[in-house]
């Protein structure tokens, strides 16, 4: 099981360059459903949302790595 968690941690880190694309997709979807105010908020704070997304990815990778490490030594 610990191998799977290590692999997921690596996969999560590999997704980090896709965060700006995901935020742009979110803006496009918000405009499509007519929530222009929400899309404008995302556009005005684009860099902050990308940084937040990358921070979430790093935290997820650390948690997966630690869980794999703990399961490896049990």
Query: What pLDDT digit, counting tens, does each position of 5-56 carry?
Result: 888 889 989 999 999 999 999 999 999 999 999 999 999 999 999 999 999 9
Question: Could you tell me how many helices (H) and strands (E) the chain has, helices first?
Answer: 4, 0
For residues 73 and 14, the answer to whether their CB atoms sit within 8 Å is no
pTM here is: 0.82
Provide the 8-state DSSP code for 35.
-
Q: Where are the domains of the chain?
A: 2-72
CB contact burial 36-62 (16+ within 10 A = b; e otherwise) = eeebeebeeeeeebbeebeeebeeebe
CA distance 74 to 72: 6
């Amino acid at each position: 099981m610990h191998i799977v968690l290590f692999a997921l941690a690596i996969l999560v880190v590999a997704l980090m360059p896709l965060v700006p694309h995901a935020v742009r997709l979110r803006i496009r979807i918000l405009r499509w459903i007519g929530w222009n105010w929400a899309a404008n908020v995302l556009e005005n704070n684009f860099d902050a949302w990308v940084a937040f997304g990358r921070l979430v990815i790093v935290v997820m990778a650390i948690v997966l790595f630690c869980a794999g490490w703990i399961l490896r030594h049990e």
